[in-house]
Structures are given as C-alpha cells and as structure tokens.
Structure 1
Amino acid sequence: MKDIELQRIISLKLKLIRRGIGIHVAENGIYVAEVRRTLTGVELSKAHFEPFPDTIHSTEEGPARQKYVAAAIQKCCAKAGIKGGEVYTSPAASQVVTRYFQVPAVSEKEQEDAIRFEGSRYVPYRLDETVVGYSIKPARDKENLDVVFNAIRIDVLRSHVNAVEAGKIKVFDSEPPFYSLARAIHNQKKRAESKNCILHFAVDGAVSVSMYRGDIFYVCRDFYLSPDDPKHPERFFSEFQSSLDYFNRQLGETGLPEHVYVAGDWNLKMWAQILDKFFNGKVPVEIPEFPMKTGLAVESANTFLVPIGLALRAIGEHLTPYDVSFLGSGVVAEERRAPRKWTGAVILTLLLLGVGYYFGYYMPRMHQLKQTLGKLKFDEENLNIASPQFALESVSALQKRLSDLETKNKIVQAFQESRSLIGDKLITLSQTIPVPIWFSDLQYQQTFSSGNALAITDRQLSMNGYIYYREIPEEELRQINDYADELRKNDSFMKGFAVLKLEGVERTSYLGRNFTKFRIIAHFNTSGRVNK
C-alpha cells in the first residue's frame, strides 16, 4: 500500500472511487468483473468469461501468446460492456509462488536481506529473475516474524502486463489470485482468527488451495486434475491431505479447518458433497453466498470470485496491511515508471517555455510598443489655426497619427490573442498527454494580412515528440494515432485550427532504447474552415 500514489490513497479513504474492474488471466481464459459503489452498498454491475482458443495451448510465452490474451480480453470486455479504465489483475495461480515461513525478529534494516535470503530457499528460480512481494506480521511467540513470501518471474509478469495492456486496458497493479479469492469471500467482514480453507475448482481441472488464519496465508498451492479421469477424487484427497498436514505443521496444531469454502466453475455441489464426506460432516463446507448484490445465481457468481476480489481492491474495499503488490516495486515497476518521469519533465519544459516566451519576448515587445506610443504626442504649437494651410496640414497629420494608433492597437490585440491561444493549447496538452508520449519541441507561427485589417491568414502549431512503449512499434503507432484522433475531437484544442495531421513518423534510438518519433501539425488558413 505504501507505494500506491498519494492521490489514489486519498480517493480510497474518502470512498471517491466508485467503479472498480478486475481481470483474472486464468489458464483456460479471461474472467472479468466490474463492481460499483452505490448508495445501498457495493454491487456487481458486469461480469463475463471468455475462453481461450484451443491453439493457445500449443503457443509458447511471448508476443504470439500475448496476442491471444489481448484479443480475448478485448472480446471479453466488449461482451460484458466494460470500457477501459485502471484495473487490478491477477495471473494464473500456477505462475505465482506463495510460501509461508518465519525469520527471527531482526531490526527493520536487516529484515529485507533476511527475508530475501530465506525466501530464496522456497522459490524454484533465482531471485534476481523475479519480482517479490511479501507481508510481515509479528509471530505469536514475539521472537519471530511471520512472513508470506510471493514471487513471480520477471518475464512472466512483464508478459502478463503487456498482454493485458495490449487489450487497451491500463493495469494499475497485480496480485496473486489467492488474495483476491479471500477478499471476495470475506468482503466487508474481518477474517476470523480461525483456520480457514478455500478450494477453487476450474472447469479445465485446475485446482488451487488456500489455507489461512486471519490475514496470514500458510498454504497456497495449485495442482491439476483431469476431469476425464474417473479416479480424480482419489488424487484430490491425496493432494488435499498433504496440504492440510503441512498447514497443521506450520501452526503447530492438529485438527481440521473450521471453515471450508468451495468456489469456481466446476460442479461446486459435487465437490461440496465430496469434501463433506472427506470430513465426515465435522466441518461446514460452504458454497459462499455472493458477497454483494447481483442478479447472478450463487454458483454462477462464484465463477467470478477472483476478478470480483480484484475489483473490490480497485475501489478500496477490504484492504489490509498484508495485501501484496507486484507492480509497487521491482524491475517491471521501474520500466513502467520510466515514461512517466519523461512526461513530467516535458510538461515542466513546456511551462518553462511558456514563461520564457512571456517574459523574454512578449513583455519586452509590449514595453517597446508603450515607449513608441508615448512618443506620439501632439504639439499644440504646430497647430496654427489662423492659417488655413497649416490648419489643413495639421488635421492630415492628426488623422495619420490616429490611423497609426489604431494599427498599433490591433497589433497589441493580436499579440494578446496569440498568447491566450497558445496558453490554452499548452493547458489542454498537459491534461491529455498519455503516459508513453512526450513532446520535445513546439513551434507556433502565424501570418497577418496586409493593410489595416490585420486579419490572421495563416496559423500553424507544430509539435515534435516521441513515444516509447516497451519497444513494440505496432503498439506505439496505434497509441500515437489514437492520440492524434483525440486531439482532433477535442473542441478546446481545435478552436482556431481547421485541420490536424500526423506526419514524420519514424523509428529512432537513444541510449540503447528504440523510440517512435512523430510530428503533429495543427493548421489554419483563410482557405480552410475554423473549427469553433
């Protein structure tokens, strides 16, 4: 939570965020849910599942698989009627490692090194190849710390985020699905300090097991059962019993869980009966009633518990100090923040250019014009009214001077209009510029007609810039075209211009990074129509 942006924290605390979206990229497809905060409480407004095509299972991780995922997300959101926004996501349970262990209660400075060292024993790959998130809580003996250690490979997380965002979705954060499940089931309720177990059965045979007490997850694992294997219940009992034994060893206790919840989309009633028989009726086995208002049946609603838990986190519901963030820190988080640093620098540069224009050009010109106007005073001694000839000449001179004053007044008005126009454009650009885009140079030119009218016959604003989006040229090209279209539709920006065109798009590189360079030109002349 400490790495979440300050503005979002304030919004969550004040309950200002009214809409949350969660996307779970499971092994078999995309699960998406949208929840809304209403006067009567939190309600599920939209939900949909979109299965992956069979061809995805023979496709390795990489751009090809990302295209399948992105297409499924776009199709899923379109069918659900969900438009893009900031979302929380979760990868498949098989892509995340979640382990519990204890470390001695060392000082805060030593905690991170101690936890990473101990965590390296539980992760099947090198820690420098992973993004790590962990939660800490004082153990009951006060001499140790309870640690829940979560890890995901950097390339897997990067591929997950890129695939979701290629579906025109902005990922705000990502977490393991075990946390999302617990949040959805315990929505608006404090998790009791009792032994709880959640079993999630997916229709393709993927099973995940979470065992926890309060906010500490002691067991989080997954395995696969073949629905076509008639002996899959026996295989399940073997896997489940080993998980239960491990749970009790970690707690230093014996006995059964006090609550068992069954979720997913694989015949929940059948699995509830199997578990009830396994426990000999000694443990309540629940298919949880849906934790919020919805028109879906109980079993149908349980299909979407993971994305619902993610959407609840998006609106700040049932947050705990132990929620895990995969995008709060680490390599992938730094990659995502880099373009934002450039954007801030560019906006600051634009503001400095505006200040420089005002004090370096506009104010000196105004001062010079005032000095010129101050010299245009009429000498009464030169107005000899007694002589018709001199009187006539003085009137002509006065008329000429009056004409000069009117011309200079129009020049001042033209400068003021140009300054106001450019100021408005800079404000619009700073409010609409996407994260991956930054401008390197802005040039404004205008031409007046000859004569006293001083009408503007030509006006042009040229904006040179770059876009960087993880070195994916097709995505960079799509985003800059979308931004140009947004500017064309922006009445505030197009006021005073007739056309806007995108040109000069080419690939370039700097410090080993590949970028897309572009130029946007907004133009108006007397032969065009001004967009008012």
Structure 2
Amino acid sequence: MLFLKKSVGLYVGTKTIQLAQLQYIAGKVHLTNFVHVDIFEDVQDTNKSLDAELILKALRKISYKSKIDLRKVNTVLLPGMVLLRYFQMPYISAEEMEEAVRFEAKKYIPFKLEEAVTGFYILRGKKETRKVGIISLVTKGEFIKNHLAMLNKVNITPISIETASFALLRFLEYSGEIEIKKSNAVVYFYEQRVNIIILKDGIPYFVRDVSLSKKEEWIDDETAELLIGSKTAIPADNRLTLLDDVLSDVKISLEYYKKELGKESVSKVILCGELDYFDSLFAPLNTAAEGSSKGVSSLPEYLSDKLNVSVKTIDPFKTIQCVKTKPLPHTFPMFPVTLGTALRGLVKTRIEIDLFRARKKTSLKTKILIRKMVLIEVAALLVSFLIMQLVFSAFVSKEQKILKKIRNSGSKFVEVSHFDQKQLKAGLDSIESRINIYNKLVKEKVYLTPKLSCLPKLTNAEIWLTKLNFENSFIVRRDKSNENSFNLQIKGNVFTAQKGTEVEMINEYVEKLKADVAFFKGFKIIKTGSVERSSFGDMPIMTFDLICSSDLDKK
C-alpha cells in the first residue's frame, strides 16, 4: 500500500446508491468521504417503478454531494447479474484456457455465448491430478454496456467492474471476519434477493443467488434439480414463510457443499445486507419458534438455532476508521459492499477478476479469424507478384539477349574517318540509349520478391494488408535527363481494442518499413495517403494508404 493513497467505490442498486472514499493513512484505512442517496427519495407516487431517469438523478446527487474527482471509480454489478462458478480443468495454455472457460460457461448461462463477457482466475492445481481450479465470472455484455452508459452521462469514469459478491468478500477478508483455514458461509440479503456464498481459504467454491419475491435462480438444470427439488413459489409478503425458505436454501447449500464438493462442514455463517426486514418478526418467535426449546430475539440467533452453527453479523467500523466527527449510519444494508468496492484500490485479495478489462479482450476465435485473413491476403499477393515477376523477367531476358547479340556482332575496329560528326553523334546517342536501358532495367533493377518476403515479419497482428500495387516508369527531368521511378502502394486495415491508438500504430508501421534495410532499398521516401475509419463486419477498423517511392517528388 502507498502512503495517503485514495480509492473510491460506487454501489448502484435498485433502491439506493452509495459512494465511499477510503484513504490509507499511518497503516490504517480511513473513511474520508461517504454519500448515501435513496433513489425514490423525492418520488411521491409509491407505485412508481424504477427507471433510468431516477437513477441518473440520484447519481447527479452523489456527484454533487461528494465534491470529489469521479474519473477513477471502482464499481460493481449486483450478484444477480453475474454468474460465479468454480470448476476444474486440465492444464492448457492461457489462450486455450480463455476459450475453454467460455465453452464451460455455455452450460450455465441463459443467453447466447456471443453476448457473454467472461473473466476467470486460475487456482493452483495438484500435480498428481494434472488439473487446475477455475473461478469464472460470466455476465451479459449488455449489462456492462448499460452500466457504463449510465455512469458516463454523469461524468463518472469507472476503472474496474466486478460482482458485488467479490466486493463484500474483500471487505470481510480485510476485516478478519473470514477464517482462512476453515469453511465459512456468507448469506447476503439485498434488493429482495439472497446471495449464498460458501468459501474456504478465501476462495468461493459455491455461490447461489435466489429471488425472495419469486423462486428464480441463475443455475443449470442439474444443480437446480438437486438444490431446489419440487419447491413452489413463495409469496413475498409472508416473512415467516420467506425466512423458512431462506433457511431451507442455506441448509441445502451447506449439504451440497459438503457432499458434492467433498468439503468439510461450515464453521461460521456471516449475515450481511437488509437484515432489518426481519427484525420485528422475532417478538412472536420467542414463544412460537418451531423446533426450538428456547425463545429467540434476532435473526442470527434464529438461524444459529436452526442450523446448529455459529451465525454472526458484522461491524463495518471494526477495521475502518471514520475521520468525520458526525457518526455515519453504518446500519445501511449495502455499506459493507460499498466499502469493499473502495478497498479494491488499497488492498489485494487472493482473487481479483475485473469484468471491465475482460470485456476489452479479443476472443481466441476473433484472433484466429484475423490471422487467417492476413495469411490468405498475403498468400494471394505473393502469388500475383510472382506471376508478374516471371513476366517481367522474361522481358528483361529478351532485352539482354538483343544487347548481347548487337555487342557480339559489331566490328571490333571501326574506321572513324569513314563517318562524319553527325553520324558519330547519332551512333553515340544510340549506344548511350541502350546502355541506359540496360542500367535501368537490369543493373539498377529493384526486385519485388525480397521486399514482399519482408512484409509478413514487419506486419503486426493488428494490421492486415488488403491491396498492393506497383509501377515502374521513366521520369524525364527538366534537364532532359531521365530516371527510373519505382513506386509501391500498400493499402491495409488496422483493428485494435485500444481505441484512439490506430494512427500511432500506422506511424510505427511506417517507421518499421523504413528501418528495414532489405525492404527500403531502392526507395527514398514512404508517404502516408488517406487514413479513414471504417468497419469490417461488426468490427470498427481504420484503413490506410502508403506510397513507397524512389521519387522524392511523388504525390
């Protein structure tokens, strides 16, 4: 950690938006700024549904009240928008692993694989099994796109996007709530949903996200059948029934973790989120708690009695120092998630997966497609130029034979006195003309084949060539001298995920061509023609046109 380093975390939910700024001072993390806004704070109509304008209005309030630079912000997506899975795979290369993880995710996601954004973390595997563990995050690309568009409208620039589950685990790990050598469970209530995470050594091996308003899960059919069985939908307004449903889900999750994944029993359950929803429920439970020999006064006590395991809540200010004189309402349900989001810039956890960076990566299939296109274009150009080279070589060979025949058939000694000055001048001009032709076509000839063989090694993967033209002509100067002009036109496309760097890549390509002795021999200048933005299918590209010429005055 760096002294006085700051980090900002932003949580955008369906009810509230929170922003926290943390700073590392004198060996401790301090909360230097915190803003909480209720999205429906100024809404008179209680039946009004959530829309983009309400969120934008709340984000503007956050920006105004915080009074800090929001160009480098860590943000999260709600757990229900991100699928988190653990599985094992054989040892393969990094590029193959990326495509294999996407293929594995296809079994679980309820949308097309082309719409998915995947990020993954490779765990250390056992040599004897020749397998590695994979923690995979999958979300819909549209979720990230909409999230970024919303933030950009209020001049908030994110530097990372992760699932809120990871942010919560980061905070719990930093606070010392998670027992590293044991298995712990985190039950996280949020936005009328419950997120169940079971982890060991800081690694989330099991995750479920269930709706409390209606029975829905984002899991595969096989796991759903094992975990849910034939249970039916639960009414959202019956809290006791809801609590029993949550209790059943937690029990089944713990059993699945122990039996199916081969792990030990959970030693502690940590409760987070919207727990106040159940507070008033436990007065009648003191006298009517089923299966309990004693009354219970809180949700942790109730779950502990039912699960026969330690159940605890957390204090956000146990390890976070607050520099403000006015105490903050740490009872905000999403406060630990917001703090965990801000901690991303200050502390490192074992697993870090950034969906913001993952969305920019070019898939392996796209890379292979681009490489194939480049190889096909280069092969076609090489074949074309070889044919032209053969034709040109045949023409030069014919001229060489004619010159040789004339030279061999001519007289060794000529009686100069038999010719007048005009005839000698005409003969001299004829000889100089043929010598000039020989020099230009043979002696000073620029060969294309060596130059073409240089292009593949000088061309990056982001650049592919689409057209090559060449011309060879004589230029008559004002002083009546002539010169052989050789011009090579190179057209191509540039594709890169880093927008705004295409022109720089073209300039670098030109410099590489100039620096290569074998390619630049015979040329005097390389000029850049048109540079325009275009598209190749769905991919945005930039086209360019280069002229390699032996003539400095070439336009």
1:159 maps to what in 2? 146
Tell me which of 194, 209, 212 is aligned to 2:182.
194
The residue identity in structure 2 corresponding to 1:318 is K
| Structure 2: distance between partners of 1:120 and 1:511 | 28
| Structure 2: distance between partners of 1:59 and 1:284 | 35
Shift of the alpha carbon at 1:35? 0.8
| Structure 1: distance between partners of 2:52 and 2:502 | 27
Tell me which of 324, 327, 334 is aligned to 2:356.
327
| Structure 2: distance between partners of 1:89 and 1:318 | 16
Shift of the alpha carbon at 1:346? 12
- Counterparts of 1:305-316 in structure 2 under 5 Å? 305-315=336-346
2:84 maps to what in 1? 98
Tell me which of 174, 177, 180 is aligned to 2:164.
177
Return the TM-score normalized by structure 2: 0.53
| Structure 2: distance between partners of 1:56 and 1:345 | 55
| Structure 1: distance between partners of 2:36 and 2:67 | 12
- Aligned to 2:305, the other structure's residue is in SS state helix
1:174-222, Cα deviation, whole Å (9 max, x unpaired): 00111100111111758612111112223x4222221111232122222
| Structure 2: distance between partners of 1:56 and 1:152 | 31
Shift of the alpha carbon at 1:20? 0.9
1:468-498, Cα deviation, whole Å (9 max, x unpaired): xxxxxxxxxxxxxxxxxxxxxxxxxxxxxxx
Change (3 A) 1:324 1:115: same
Shift of the alpha carbon at 1:172? 0.5
Change (3 A) 1:298 1:263: farther
| Structure 1: distance between partners of 2:246 and 2:498 | 46
Does 2:248 match 1:261?
no
Residues 258 and 264 in structure 2, CA contact (< 8 A), matched pair in contact too: yes
Residues 56 and 68 in structure 1, CA contact (< 8 A), matched pair in contact too: no
Residues 173 and 202 in structure 2, CA contact (< 8 A), matched pair in contact too: no
Residues 265 and 300 in structure 1, CA contact (< 8 A), matched pair in contact too: no
| Structure 2: distance between partners of 1:66 and 1:339 | 28
- Aligned to 1:327, the other structure's residue is in SS state helix
| Structure 1: distance between partners of 2:362 and 2:8 | 20
1:295-352, Cα deviation, whole Å (9 max, x unpaired): 656852663111211111123x1333x211112133589999644426967999xxxx
Change (3 A) 1:165 1:319: farther
Higher radius of gyration, 1 or 2: 2
| Structure 2: distance between partners of 1:140 and 1:197 | 25
Tell me which of 501, 504, 510 is aligned to 1:341.
501
Change (3 A) 1:56 1:106: farther
| Structure 2: distance between partners of 1:341 and 1:253 | 49
Does 2:143 match 1:116?
no
2:250 maps to what in 1? 240
Residues 180 and 309 in structure 1, CA contact (< 8 A), matched pair in contact too: yes
Q: Which moved more, 1:120-129 or 1:51-60?
A: 51-60
Shift of the alpha carbon at 1:47? 2.1
Change (3 A) 1:193 1:250: farther
Does 2:52 match 1:43?
no
- Counterparts of 1:204-283 in structure 2 under 5 Å? 204-226=191-213, 228-230=237-239, 231-255=241-265, 257-267=266-276, 270-280=298-308, 282-283=309-310
1:318 maps to what in 2? 348
Change (3 A) 1:293 1:142: farther
1:421-471, Cα deviation, whole Å (9 max, x unpaired): xxxxxxxxxxxxxxxxxxxxxxxxxxxxxxxxxxxxxxxxxxxxxxxxxxx
- Counterparts of 1:102-501 in structure 2 under 5 Å? 102-108=88-94, 110-139=96-125, 142-143=128-129, 144-187=131-174, 192-202=180-190, 204-226=191-213, 228-230=237-239, 231-255=241-265, 257-267=266-276, 270-280=298-308, 282-290=309-317, 291-294=319-322, 296=327, 299-300=330-331, 303-315=334-346, 317-320=347-350, 322-331=351-360, 338-341=498-501
1:522 maps to what in 2? none
| Structure 2: distance between partners of 1:333 and 1:108 | 13
- Aligned to 2:355, the other structure's residue is in SS state coil
Q: Which moved more, 1:157-166 or 1:180-189?
A: 180-189
The residue identity in structure 2 corresponding to 1:327 is F
* Equivalences, count: 336
Identity of aligned residues (%): 20
Change (3 A) 1:58 1:311: same
Residues 158 and 332 in structure 1, CA contact (< 8 A), matched pair in contact too: no
Change (3 A) 1:155 1:312: same
1:72-106, Cα deviation, whole Å (9 max, x unpaired): 22212333444423011101111111111112234
